[in-house]
A and B are shown apart, each in its own frame.
Chain A
Amino acid sequence: MADTPIDRLARATPSSLARRVRGLSDRAIAWVFVTPTILLLLAINIFPLIWTVRLSFTNFAANKPNAEVKWVGLRNYTRILTDPDIWQTMQATAHFLFWTLLFQVVIGFSLAWLINRKFRGNDLLTTLIVLPMMLSPAVVGNFWTFLYEPQIGLFNYAVEFFTGIPASSFSMLGSVTLAPWSIVIADTWMWTPFVMLICLAGLRSIPDYIYEAAEVDRASKWRQFWTMTVPMVLPFLMLAVLFRGIENFKMFDLVVQLTGGGPGSTTLLTSIELKREAFEKWRTGYSSAYAIILFVTVFGLASIYVKALNKVKER
């Protein structure tokens, strides 16, 4: 019989240790396996979180490690929550979040609905549609910067073709009113395939016999869609919204590449502002308080959402 590595390991284990391991209960062995993961989580997730909470009550600056750190109480929080500029970044984030989620859900679900039908070239089309989400956000940002160029950009020429507005008469990235929409369009282009894939998984999980039974009962296509397809895809759709909502709340790279937060502060999302406070102005205590405010907001929303998702699944 072949000598396997496990056999060799068993022979190499000192007999005292082997006796001790043999005496462990299943529960103890489970703990032995789980403990490294828990320790790792504590070290890289929980400890930094607690440390950030502590820093948020101080005037600590990471670029002055030897300076005296003073306890400032709730001052960082009150300064953030009474600052009209921070309020402006929250509104910019809300605009971005609302429209990207709406467009991605509507277009993603529609694409999944179309792709789910059986036709020639279905697989090739699916692969082509999911290509944007495989690209790096930095590449997509660069790519859309060229597309939005008023003189040579394809986007402006497409707008001119469909609406008659001269291509060189507007700049998507330079205009205060158009810049927030430019980041919504780029993000929708990149992440709609993700929503589509999740919806497609939901649509493909619906067994054919349910539709066959509905056909026998002479239910119309419209009724089948609203009373069977939508409720059965809803948990998948909610999961996609949860993922995209959290990701877009933290959106950084794509927007930095496209607009850098400008013009003015019209596309200055919370994560960009947070990075500026933390690593350009080096106000570590202040930015820690800012991060805690964002964390509590996302955590609260995610809690409600997971609860709602479980309820939909139970139905």
Chain B
Amino acid sequence: MKGFLSGLLRLRRGPWELLASCLIGLGVFMLMQPFVLWAFTWSFLVTLTGTVMFIITSHFPE
């Protein structure tokens, strides 16, 4: 956990990509879940944030 946080602070690719992947996964789950409509409403914003973050952070140093 400490390594993950320091990676985030030092703008390292691994932890940032992991964070972006989690956001994309969460967004897709929110889009397709059958439980609450508000999650569906906010899903696109979460997925878009994750996707843009993934594109940017994949250019960070290892």
Contacts and interface: CB of A to CB of B under 8 A. Distances in A.
B53 to A, nearest CB: 10
A256 interface: no
A87 interface: yes
Given A296-B44, A296-B48, A296-B51, A301 B24 contact: yes
Give the dominant DSSP class at A's interface: helix
A94 interface: yes
B25 A304 contact: yes
B5 interface: no
A94 B32 contact: yes
Give the dominant DSSP class at B's interface: helix
A300 interface: yes
B37 A82 contact: yes
Interface in A176-232: none
A160 to B, nearest CB: 32
B15 interface: no
Contacts of A297: 27-28, 31, 44, 47
Going nearest first, the 7 A-B pairs with the smallest beta carbon separation are A94-B32, A300-B51, A300-B24, A304-B21, A81-B41, A87-B40, A91-B34
28 contacts: A77-B44, A81-B40, A81-B41, A81-B42, A81-B43, A81-B44, A82-B37, A87-B40, A90-B40, A91-B32, A91-B33, A91-B34, A93-B32, A293-B44, A296-B47, A296-B48, A297-B31, A297-B47, A299-B51, A300-B24, A300-B27, A300-B28, A300-B47, A301-B24, A303-B54, A303-B55, A304-B54, A307-B21
